[in-house]
Amino acid sequence: MQGTTMDGGSKDIATRTGEATAVDYDVDGIRRDFPILAREVHGRPLVYLDNASSAQKPRAVIDTERAVYEEEYANVHRGLYWLSERATDRFEGAREKVRRFINAAHGREVIFTRNATEAINLVAASWGRTFLEAGDEIVISEMEHHANFVPWQVLRDEKGIVMRQAPIGDDGEFLMDAFAKLLGPKTKLVAITQMSNVLGTVLPVADIVRMAHDVGAKVLIDGCQGVTHLPVDVQAMDCDFYVFSGHKLYGPSGIGVLYGKEELLDAMPPYQTGGDMIRSVTFEKTTWAPLPNKFEAGTPAIAQAIALGAAIDYLTGIGMERIAAHERDLLTYATQRLSAVDGLRIIGTAPGKASVISFDLDCAHPHDVATIADRAAVAVRAGHHCAQPLMERLGVPATTRASFGLYNTRADADSLAEAMEQVRRIFAR
């Protein structure tokens, strides 16, 4: 179960600030792989803590994308010349890297999309419109990003489906008993996040899938946050759909992934139609290409897919388990540092959470907090984080959010805590 493996609470915390976090984790070396981390903002070294929104890119990703255009670029799947064959091999090679990374059974179960938002819209439009009927029920959680909320709401209003929200507790913990009560014979889909982008809560997705399957429902997992922090195995999880975006996974923007079980994808009609997704076209009738091309109409984001493959190679080279251990240490340390700031309240303290910390300060609005942090070159997000229903549940209009990635350090957490002291010096008078 994903949720129980993330307990970092018992780790020793070094008292000296800014020191390396794990003996075998070369964070300085990793930082050198990310060119942007060497730059300054407002005359200070960048402290990038908005990874839950979008992550920075290692040189391997940047170089790969450039090299594709400089050396190996042509359209895919149609050229009868060497360069196109080469580009096609690289593109399909990236699909294989994604397949292995999430342990899908076949490459044809891996569909390239623009991003996770498009992947969810694809499932809503294709699977949802075809297989859901009035009165059917969809269960989501109170923690969903708008991308896993609005597409279902639109479908609800279009088809007369019923949408139910699985609640969270005051610490941001997912309430399994309450979730279980929402499931029933009418439940046709559970569309749920693997990890909250606001609270850091990690959901026990394998258990959720099992319970949903017991009532005959399909399960879509929003893996946008989860895939960046946790090892993912879609077969072990047994989910029916799994989506994520490349840009949060240290890859390029413009590329995302929909994993779907083959039997489901086979039964679904195309989402978009056009070139590259057909078998044959006559004036009377068009037949669809086999998977995965059926869902990849038009020329895809070729260089971006290949560069996503490079991002996956980079992460695999470090090891997702080791990244997770490093981030657990950062979470523990940053939580401790922030908790020491007067008037600072951390929002989301579920056991086993991952390295996203939302908080509010009693003396200042999150917008003012983010502006002051920015002048210290600390990039944090302030706002509703595309999760307005969650903000309503928490009773706050907005939060400040610091999200840690594989290249962050304890020194970054120190800079954040110092910036929060600066906020207090200005506001708490």
Report the catalytic residues: 386
Q: How far is the CB of 200 from other proteins (least distance, A)?
A: 20
| Between 60 and 396, CB nearer to other proteins | 396
Stretch touching other proteins by CB under 8 A, among 70-78, 176-184, 305-313, 421-429: 421-429
Residue 273 within binding range of other proteins, rule CB under 8 A: no
# residues near other proteins by CB under 8 A: 23
Q: How far is the CB of 394 from other proteins (least distance, A)?
A: 12
| Between 261 and 401, CB nearer to other proteins | 401
* SS3 annotation, the chain: CHHHHCCCCCCCCCCCCCCCCCCCCCHHHHHHCCHHHHCEECCEECEECECCCCCCCCHHHHHHHHHHHHHHCCCCCCCCCHHHHHHHHHHHHHHHHHHHHHCCCCHHHEEEECCHHHHHHHHHHHHHHHHCCCCCEEEEECCCCHHHCHHHHHHHHHHCCEEEEECECCCCCECHHHHHHHCCCCEEEEEEECECCCCCCECCHHHHHHHHHHCCCEEEEECCCHHHHCCCCHHHHCCCEEEEECHHHCCCCCCEEEEECHHHHHHCCCCCCCCCCEEEECCCCEEECCCCHHHCCCCCCHHHHHHHHHHHHHHHHHCHHHHHHHHHHHHHHHHHHHHCCCCEEEECCCCCCCCEEEEEECCECHHHHHHHHHHCCEECEEECCCCHHHHHHHCCCCEEEEECCCCCCHHHHHHHHHHHHHHHHHHCC
Residue 398 within binding range of other proteins, rule CB under 8 A: yes
Residue 375 within binding range of other proteins, rule CB under 8 A: yes
Q: Of residues 18, 107, 383, 389, which one binds other proteins by CB under 8 A?
A: 383
Residue 382 within binding range of other proteins, rule CB under 8 A: yes
What mask of x and - would describe binding to other proteins in positions 334 to 373, judged by CB under 8 A? ------------------------------xxxxx--xx-
Q: How far is the CB of 10 from other proteins (least distance, A)?
A: 37
Residue 181 within binding range of other proteins, rule CB under 8 A: no
Residue 42 within binding range of other proteins, rule CB under 8 A: yes
Q: How far is the CB of 150 from other proteins (least distance, A)?
A: 14
Residue 391 within binding range of other proteins, rule CB under 8 A: yes
Q: How far is the CB of 192 from other proteins (least distance, A)?
A: 23
Q: Of residues 160, 321, 397, 421, which one binds other proteins by CB under 8 A?
A: 397
Write out the residues near other proteins by the rule CB under 8 A.
42, 44, 364-368, 371-372, 375-376, 382-384, 388, 391, 397-398, 422, 425-427, 429
